[in-house]
Amino acid sequence: MASWSQLVPFGGVVLLGAMSPGPDFAVVLRHAATSGRRAGTATALGITAGILVWSVVAAFGVAGVLAASAVAFTAVKLAGAAYLVFLGAKALLAARRGGELAVGAAGASVTAAQAFREGLLCNVLNPKCAVFFVALLPQFLPAHPSLADTVLISLVPVLLTALWFGVVANVVGGLRRLFAVPRVRRTLDALTGALLIALGVRLAAQARSLT
């Protein structure tokens, strides 16, 4: 059975990865700020579902195929990059409209289902997650892992990701009145849109590495 001496360092690395600014953080921030805690939490759950997919397939060796295959990696990478650019363009369009749709008005908010889907796709279409887990997870598994070891080590990133982004969604969602101010809303849309597009372009240009 995996010991605490393996789980704690693994959890620390995963938590640091989750807390680093990236597309997951950007989509949670935007949905929580513009659509409230429920949408932010749904986005966090979508990201968590994506982490579950990557951690399980990495634990069972499937993610290694993606990380090792140039064709598969490139296909997922370009799809993920295109999706980030799409999300970024939507945010920039909202900023250009000048915030005429106040938060809570028809069409201004996303549903929980839409937020969950965006969080899931944002994470699943990021092949860097596959490379991350392929490089990291085996280092913390016992030499001859049992099924229980594999399940346990796979659940650690899922729980920590849900915890971190759940906190982000609730804290930012609690400030929703501030983000309802048109000027603040426009600034948020512009910043998150530019960030998502930049991350999409960066993802498209990256090779199969952890940097």
The number of domains in the chain is 1
Residue 26 resides in a domain: yes
211 in a structural domain: no
165-185 per-position pLDDT tens digit: 999 999 999 888 888 788 888
CA nearest 196: which of 92, 114, 117, 112?
A: 92
Report pLDDT digits (tens) over 32-64. Answer: 998 889 999 999 999 999 998 888 777 666 655
| 136: number of Cβ within 10 Å | 17
- The total of other beta-carbon atoms located within 10 Å of residue 110's CB is 20
Task: Encode pLDDT of 111-160 as tens digits.
Answer: 899 999 999 999 888 877 777 777 777 677 666 767 777 778 888 889 99
The answer to whether position 77 is within a domain reads yes
pLDDT of residue 108: 52
Check residue 62 and give its pLDDT.
Answer: 61
Q: How far apart are CA 188 and CA 191, in angstroms?
A: 5
Establish if 210 belongs to a structural domain.
no
Interatomic CA distance for residues 20 and 164, integer angstroms: 11
Asked whether residue 4 is assigned to any structural domain, the reply reads no
Contact 176, 41 (CB under 8 A): no
Domain-located, residue 84: yes
pTM score, whole prediction? 0.77
Domain interval for residue 136: 22-205
Q: Is residue 74 part of a domain?
A: yes
- 3-class secondary-structure state, position 199: helix
- Confirm whether 98 is domain-assigned: yes
